[in-house]
Each structure stands twice: as C-alpha cells, then as structure tokens.
C-alpha cells in the first residue's frame, strides 16, 4: 500500500526567507507525485506535479519540488516566501495507471510572518 508522510505539521517562517516543506512517500510500484495548496475555506489547488522526466518541477508562483527516487522524497521549496503563501500544503501520490485515488499526507501549515 502507498503512504505519504509530511514531516512537519507546521512551519513558521519570516517573509522573504527560504522554506522547505518535506514529503516522503512509500510505494512498491511507480507513482505520480503532487503538491496541492489549500487556502482557508477553499478547496485544493494543484501547485505542481511530477509524472516523469526531469526530476525538478516548478510552479508558476516560484515553488519547486524535486523527485528523489532513492530517498523516496518529493520536498517542496521556495527561495523567498510572501505573506500570501500562508496556507496548508498537501503532498499526494497516486499509482501510475490508478484511477484518481490520491493518497494524501497529513498536511503542513505554512505560516509566513512579516
């Protein structure tokens, strides 16, 4: 069975500082990897995804994540955060060829302080 572990439940950081949100997964078969963001009282928005190819994937708002197969990790990073990045971030996996059964991590609450 697949599982996802987000190593930090909360990450406080000052504005313009770098941040890393950690995600490890467990699976005996190939998976696709995703990061979703959830703002208060909203649904989930796809931040970025790894399906295949380059192990470094980027989003349009400055986040990036690197797939590391040997360490089964997919950590999310941003070199300089803004107040507006305050949200909950979820790492998720799905079996390659699986039907939309996303397995989510418990989430990391990113709090950006001025």
Query: Which residues contact another protein by CB under 8 A?
Result: 31-32, 34, 36, 41-46, 49, 51, 90, 92, 94-107
CB of 102: closest distance to another protein in angstroms?
A: 6
C-beta of 69 vs 101, nearer to another protein: 101
As a whole number of angstroms, the distance between CA 4 and CA 12 comes to 22
Phi, psi of 84 (to 5 degrees): -70, -10
CB of 39: closest distance to another protein in angstroms?
A: 10
As a whole number of angstroms, the distance between CA 105 and CA 74 comes to 12
C-beta of 10 vs 80, nearer to another protein: 10
């Amino acid at each position: 069975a697949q599982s996802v572990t987000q190593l930090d439940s909360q990450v406080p950081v000052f504005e313009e500082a770098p941040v890393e949100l950690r995600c490890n997964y467990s699976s005996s078969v190939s998976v696709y990897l995703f990061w979703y963001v959830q703002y208060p009282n909203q649904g989930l928005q796809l931040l970025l995804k790894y399906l295949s190819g380059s192990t470094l994937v980027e989003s349009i708002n400055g986040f990036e994540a690197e797939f590391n197969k040997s360490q089964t990790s997919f950590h999310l990073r941003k070199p300089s955060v803004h107040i507006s990045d305050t949200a909950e971030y979820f790492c998720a996996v799905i079996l390659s060829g699986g039907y939309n059964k996303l397995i989510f991590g418990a989430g990391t609450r990113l709090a950006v302080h001025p």
